[in-house]
Amino acid sequence: MLSRRGRPLLVAGLGAMRLAEVAWSSRNLRRAGAGRQAAPRSFPLMVSVNVALFTLCIVPRRRRPPRALEVAALTGLAAAVGLRLWVIGSLGPAWNVKALVPEEMTVVTRGPYRWMRHPNYLAVIVEFACLPVAVGAYSEAVLLSAANAAVLVPRIRAEEALLDQVPGYREAFAGVPRLLPTRLSPAADAERVRWIQIPARESQSRGESRPKPQ
């Protein structure tokens, strides 16, 4: 599997992806217009734990995880990256790292939001658990996951408090889990709607129609 040189390359590659996400988020935020940020005090803490994740994991280690554990960790990382890209593709210009909830929102029924409310946070949780394990940093996996959970719990609650103020959001997400996906029947899925964060003026400038809450 991963060689001793391959481990830091893996960490560096995921770190570069995170920086690209931040750049994409900054672009989206410049166009987002007015809105409210969920738990703004938690954002510097989130940045800190993410920096700690890549800093601690890039340190070379002599010990190598057992093959089965390494395969499981790398599989989890691949799934997390895929899920994160799916989220970004589904939300498009609405996606941002600051959990900004704009005043104008529109409805979307595609992507992982059909099965869970916070797929991006699930991807982060999996990444924090799997990346340290993949490079042999077992104790760091536990500590970093705990720190990440301490940041995410209040952030998710604050974000949902803002989203609950959006007309139709609570009804649309009734019974939908936060993180772990569930299988829905086609009939139930057809009745569900999703809200994404996108400025009204941007969709209007493209000549798009804005769906109404179901």
What lies within 8 Å, CB to CB, of 25 at 6+ separation is 95, 96, 97, 98
Where in the chain are the domains? 6-205
pLDDT, mean of residues 185-189: 45
Determine the pLDDT at residue 101: 81
Residue with tokens 């960490």: 11
Cα 183 to Cα 209: distance, rounded to the nearest angstrom = 30
pTM above 0.95, yes or no: no
Domain 6-205 has what CATH class? mainly alpha
Tens digits of residue pLDDT in 116-130: 889 999 999 999 999
pLDDT of 57-105, one tens digit each? 999 888 889 999 999 999 999 999 999 999 999 888 888 999 988 877 7
Average model confidence (pLDDT) across the chain: 84
pLDDT for 94 equals 85
More confident residue, 211 or 183: 183
Question: Beta-carbon neighbour count of residue 170 at 10 Å?
Answer: 12
Residue that has been written with the tokens 């481990």 in this structure: 7
> Could you read off the pLDDT of 21-68 as tens digits, one per residue?
999 999 999 988 788 999 999 999 999 999 999 999 999 888 889 999
Q: In this structure, what DSSP letter does residue 105 have?
A: E
Task: Tell me how far apart the alpha carbons of residues 98 and 37 are, in angstroms, rounded to a whole number.
Answer: 7
pLDDT single digits (tens) 142-179? 999 999 999 999 999 999 998 888 777 777 777 778 99
Closest CA to 95 of 208, 197, 23, 202: 197
Q: Which residue has the higher pLDDT, 4 or 137?
A: 137
Q: Which residue(s) pair with 106 in the sheet?
A: 196
**Total residues belonging to the chain:** 214
CB of 180 closer than 8 Å to CB of 116: yes
